[in-house]
């Protein structure tokens, strides 16, 4: 076999190093042309370094008192969310001061179908998979004085022992849309919603395939006291769970 010269060998080594290291540099995430960055004061700035920027993921236009506004939310790299309002084109921006939603982990932001200046914001109380969720209603009819209302109906932690079931009650009203969210990292389960006459109106199962989470949205048929029965998937089911019930409207 013909031996390579020291010069050729050196070029081969350098080429190997470049081939190995250069793709890692170009593999770093490049900013998307569609992303909008803001700073902690809600000012738009596409030149912000990564450690100082929030990336907008939700933006809604609304009108109140004859004036158009933007309501937008941006996420920091750790997952915490910044909420802001401004006039069109991000003019005169200002952060919301509501600590219940500001700098929290947010599951969803949707418009309230019954209020043209209202939004429903689901806040996850922690970053873990078993953290309970609380809905808040945000009314921006007066942009300078936003009104935030908790829409939580029930927040509870419970424990099942072998083969048993647990029952929780809450007050509901006719036509009210609610979301029932039950999570357990310990066991498979099923939940049953009973109406004021103990008639079954909804059921859901949580198992390892869906992260042992049951998410159920229901419109209640009447005023009165409702029951939720939590039961394990089999006779050996046991452990802790979190149950969140929230209204989906102001």
Blockwise average pLDDT, block size 10, the chain, 250 residues: 43 40 39 85 97 97 97 96 97 96 95 93 81 94 96 93 89 95 85 94 79 85 96 84 92
CA distances from residue 39 to 66, 77, 95, 98, 121 in whole angstroms, order as listed? 28, 12, 10, 18, 21
Q: What is the pLDDT of residue 129?
A: 63
What whole-number distance in Å separates Cα of residue 128 and Cα of residue 183? Answer: 11
Radius of gyration (Cα) for the chain, nearest Å?
25
Q: What is the pLDDT of residue 49?
A: 96
Q: Which helix (H) or strand (E) holds 18?
A: helix 6-26
HSE, side-chain direction, 13 A CA sphere, residue 181: 22
Q: What is the pLDDT of residue 33?
A: 65
Q: What is the pLDDT of residue 144?
A: 94
Q: What is the pLDDT of residue 122?
A: 95
Give me the count of residues in the chain: 250
- Residues 158/240, Cβ–Cβ less than 8 Å: yes
Backbone angles phi, psi at 19, to 5 degrees: -65, -35
CA angle 182, 150, 137 (to 5 degrees): 100
What whole-number distance in Å separates Cα of residue 196 and Cα of residue 130? Answer: 29
Backbone angles phi, psi at 210, to 5 degrees: -115, 25
What whole-number distance in Å separates Cα of residue 152 and Cα of residue 194? Answer: 19
Q: What is the pLDDT of residue 189?
A: 83
Q: What is the pLDDT of residue 25?
A: 34
- Residues 127/107, Cβ–Cβ less than 8 Å: no
Q: What is the pLDDT of residue 6?
A: 44
Q: What is the pLDDT of residue 75?
A: 97
CA distances from residue 199 to 43, 202, 225 in whole angstroms, order as listed? 53, 9, 12
- pTM of the predicted structure, to 2 decimals: 0.79
């Amino acid at each position: 076999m013909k031996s390579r010269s020291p010069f050729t060998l050196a070029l081969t080594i350098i080429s190997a190093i470049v081939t190995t290291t250069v793709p890692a540099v170009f593999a770093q995430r490049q900013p998307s042309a569609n992303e909008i960055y803001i700073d902690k004061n809600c000012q738009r700035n596409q030149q912000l370094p990564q450690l100082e920027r929030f990336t907008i993921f939700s933006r809604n236009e609304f009108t109140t008192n004859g004036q158009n506004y933007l309501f937008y939310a941006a996420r920091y790299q750790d997952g915490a969310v910044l909420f802001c309002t401004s006039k069109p084109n991000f003019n005169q921006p200002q952060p919301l001061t509501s600590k219940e939603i500001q700098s929290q982990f947010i599951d969803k932001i949707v418009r309230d179908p019954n209020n043209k200046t209202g939004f429903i914001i689901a806040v996850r109380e922690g970053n873990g998979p078993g953290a309970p969720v609380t809905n808040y209603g945000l009314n921006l009819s007066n942009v300078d004085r936003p009104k935030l209302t908790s829409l939580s109906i029930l927040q509870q932690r419970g424990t099942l022992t072998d083969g048993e079931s647990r029952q929780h009650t809450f007050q509901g009203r006719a036509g009210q849309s609610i979301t029932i969210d039950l999570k357990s990292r310990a066991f498979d389960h099923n939940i049953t919603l009973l109406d004021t006459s103990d008639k079954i109106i909804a059921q859901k199962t949580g198992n390892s395939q869906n992260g042992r989470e049951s998410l159920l949205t229901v419109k209640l048929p009447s005023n009165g006291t409702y029951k939720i029965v939590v039961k394990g998937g089999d006779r050996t089911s046991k452990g802790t769970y979190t149950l969140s019930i929230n209204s989906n409207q102001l």
